[in-house]
Amino acid sequence: MAFVDEKTKINLPQFLASLVDFIIPPACPVCRELVSGHAGVCASCWRDLDFITPPICYRTGVPLAEDPGPEGAGLAAMIRPPPYHRARAALAYSGVGAQLIRRMKYSDQSELAAMLAPLVMRAATPLFAAADLIVPVPMHRWRLARCRFNQSAELARALSRLSGVPMQVHILESHRATAQQVGLTRAARRSNLRGAFRVRADAKAQIAGRHVLLVDDVLTTGATVEACTRTLLRAGAGEVDVVTLARVVMPETLPV
């Protein structure tokens, strides 16, 4: 009878990771400063990360100057309610946070995604508790080829592993190539994205009446996650929440 001694069995991925660490010591993904122990952001870059903390708008997750009360929304969300139920982000998209996201886009970031996933979990715990399914924002094929990695899917995979909420990568797909969103007005962005996403015909049963948690790396104007949300709701999803690693934070000015 074959007998495997659990103590001597080598965990191959872990062994290879420590071998790589031995050859290439782990460096801070932002400043490339060498860090001791497991790979991560160095202490000085960590201090410069701009975490989003309450008070925030219950709907959009944007930081507010004053506490809006339980489930209170900010002015922007009251004027123009988003199609999703709630959105949360761990970091403000600026400085070190923005550098991290860029690093995620253009390098092998499965390790980086695993390192950053707990920050997203912490910022959005109730959203994970309510979710039936995690769905990443899809990336168009030509862009995927250029960047090599789909950072939203990597982040979604890490979040699924951490939260235990199942992930489905192929629910949403890019329907057509869209023009670059940069420099477009909100209305132009929205029409640029109209029809940009669709739910795969064979995936509709998986989202019918379900609570979907949509994952993207960054929320800028929100046009992309809003377009994905509308597509999911139209295809029968019960409710959609959104989590991103970072979001652009613009001061919400209140009329006096």
Tokens 């801070």 label which residue?
28
Residue 117 makes contact with Zn ion by CB under 5 A: no
State yes or no: residue 116 binds Zn ion (CB under 5 A): no
Sign for the pseudo-dihedral over CA of 147, 152, 91, 184: positive
Q: How far is the CB of 31 from Zn ion (least distance, A)?
A: 3
For position 232 contacting Zn ion by CB under 5 A, the verdict is no
Closest to Zn ion by CB, 32 or 146: 32
* 28 sits near Zn ion (criterion: CB under 5 A): yes
Q: Is 153 in the site for Zn ion (CB under 5 A)?
A: no
> CA–CA separation, 113 vs 242, rounded Å?
17
Q: Which of 17, 26, 27, 31 binds Zn ion (CB under 5 A)?
A: 31
The nearest distance, CB 27 to Zn ion, in angstroms, is 8
Judged by CB under 5 A, does residue 133 bind Zn ion? no
Quick one: which segment of 36-44, 58-66, 142-150, 188-196 binds Zn ion (CB under 5 A)?
Answer: 36-44
Is the Cβ of residue 55 or residue 95 nearer to Zn ion in the bound state? 95
Distance CA 102, CA 96 (A): 10
Question: In the set 40, 45, 64, 247, which binds Zn ion (CB under 5 A)?
Answer: 45
Q: Which residues contact 10 (CB under 8 A, 6 or more apart)?
A: none
Interface with Zn ion by CB under 5 A: which residues? 28, 30-31, 33, 42, 45
